């Protein structure tokens, strides 16, 4: 850590000029942005835009994920002092990354929300930047996938989750975080046969062709084998990674709306994510962090680390040299 810089840096979310580089202001002070990146609506020359979607009106049980983006940003202030451990490169220095702020929407007009989010992600992708989203409940992935599909075609999805989110629902106007992946498949956004769900531990009558590595199997075969299988399944085609924090066992991430025991440990998730280096990642999200149910902040810390890993994966195939 650059101690001299720590004495003088503050409020880098607004004062820093460069969109690249590590940050050294005190973790406990200053204006909070994701990884101390500069807040900016200017996407010219930006490689990756991080955006928050504070929406939790599609939940089936406990709300609270509207506070997820804020909590993840705050937890992330522990990370930007050094390159991420174990990756061998520094995405914050090699790429232009900004905090694009949150999606603005009318909370009282829930039916308008999907189109608002779709247009928000469209703008990011149209500017040539990648999109990393901090949720929010898992419904938000559906409009995001729609925007990515329009640019990249049918996507191969890597979904970390306790639930398949594939429960049948042919009413495309319903807004439900348990049916959004069903709708994504039915609308052609997702190539299910070449997609994979990891950490599943709730019943699903029909996986619609998804490959499934449930939590029990992941525990049995171990992270390297899981990562190898995922890479075989998605290949080199454009892929999208969505990480529901309830993929982790409640012991590691209690702050979520629908926790299920028997999930992944933090170290397992980290090892699997790092084992995916080289996939053709178009973007990703981390969702379902619900701070009201975790006064320790551990769930938000996990969410911030997952977001960093997604950033590392996104940058891996785009590195110079």
Residue 246, annotated as binding a ligand: yes
Paired with 53 in beta bridges are 135
Q: Is 240 helix (H, G, I), strand (E, B) or coil?
A: strand
- What is the DSSP-derived secondary structure letter of residue 88? S
Residue 138, annotated as binding a ligand: yes
Among 153, 160, 150, residue whose Cα is nearest residue 199: 160
Q: How far apart are the C-alpha atoms of 219 and 316, rounded to whole Å? A: 27
Residue 165, annotated as binding a ligand: yes
Please state, as a whole number, how many other Cβ atoms lie within 10 Å of the Cβ of residue 234: 25
Q: How far apart are the C-alpha atoms of 302 and 291, rounded to whole Å? A: 12
Contact status, residue 275 vs residue 224, Cβ threshold 8 Å: yes
Give me the torsion for CA of 54, 259, 110, 182, rounded to 10°: 120
- With vertex at residue 232, the alpha carbon angle to CA 230 and CA 236, rounded to the nearest 5 degrees, is 100
Residue 163, annotated as binding a ligand: yes
The H or E element containing residue 158 is strand 156-160
Residue 118, annotated as binding a ligand: no
Through-space distance between the first and last CA atoms of the chain, rounded to whole angstroms: 27
Task: Kindly give, in sequence order, each residue whose CB lies less than 8 Å from that of residue 44, ignoring residues fewer than 6 positions away.
Answer: 127
Task: Kindly give, in sequence order, each residue whose CB lies less than 8 Å from that of residue 71, ignoring residues fewer than 6 positions away.
Answer: 289, 291, 297, 299, 300, 303
Q: How far apart are the C-alpha atoms of 305 and 307, rounded to whole Å? A: 5
Q: How far apart are the C-alpha atoms of 193 and 210, rounded to whole Å? A: 5
The binding site consists of 138, 161, 163, 165, 244, 246
The binding site for Mn(2+) consists of 138, 161, 163, 165, 244, 246
């Amino acid at each position: 850590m650059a101690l001299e810089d720590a004495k003088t840096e503050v409020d880098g979310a607004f004062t820093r000029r460069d969109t690249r580089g590590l940050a050294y202001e005190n973790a406990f002070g200053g204006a909070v942005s994701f990884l101390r990146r500069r807040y900016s609506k200017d996407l010219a020359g930006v490689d990756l835009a991080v955006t928050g979607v504070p929406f939790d009106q599609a939940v089936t049980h406990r709300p609270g994920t509207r506070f997820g983006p804020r909590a993840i940003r705050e937890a992330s202030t522990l990370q930007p002092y050094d390159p991420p451990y174990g990756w061998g490169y520094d995405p914050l220095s090699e790429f232009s990354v900004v905090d694009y702020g949150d999606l603005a929407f009318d909370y009282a007009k829930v039916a308008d929300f999907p189109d608002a989010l779709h247009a928000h992600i469209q703008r990011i992708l149209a500017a040539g930047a990648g999109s990393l989203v901090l949720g929010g409940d898992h419904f938000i992935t559906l409009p995001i996938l729609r925007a990515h599909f329009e640019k990249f075609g049918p996507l191969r999805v890597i979904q970390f989750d306790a639930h398949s989110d594939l429960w049948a629902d042919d009413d495309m106007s319903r807004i439900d975080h348990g049916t959004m992946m069903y709708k994504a498949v039915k609308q052609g956004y997702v190539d299910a046969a070449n997609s994979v769900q990891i950490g599943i531990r709730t019943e699903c009558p029909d996986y619609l062709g998804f490959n499934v590595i449930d939590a029990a199997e992941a525990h049995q075969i171990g992270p390297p084998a899981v990562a190898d299988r995922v890479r075989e399944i998605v290949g080199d085609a454009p892929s999208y990674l969505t990480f529901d924090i309830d993929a982790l066992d409640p012991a590691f991430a209690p702050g979520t709306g629908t926790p299920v025991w028997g999930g992944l440990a933090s170290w397992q998730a980290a090892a699997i994510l790092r084992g995916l280096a080289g996939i053709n990642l178009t973007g990703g999200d981390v969702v379902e962090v619900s701070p009201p149910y975790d006064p320790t902040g551990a769930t938000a810390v996990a969410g911030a680390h997952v977001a960093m890993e997604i950033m590392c994966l996104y940058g891996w195939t785009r590195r110079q040299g």
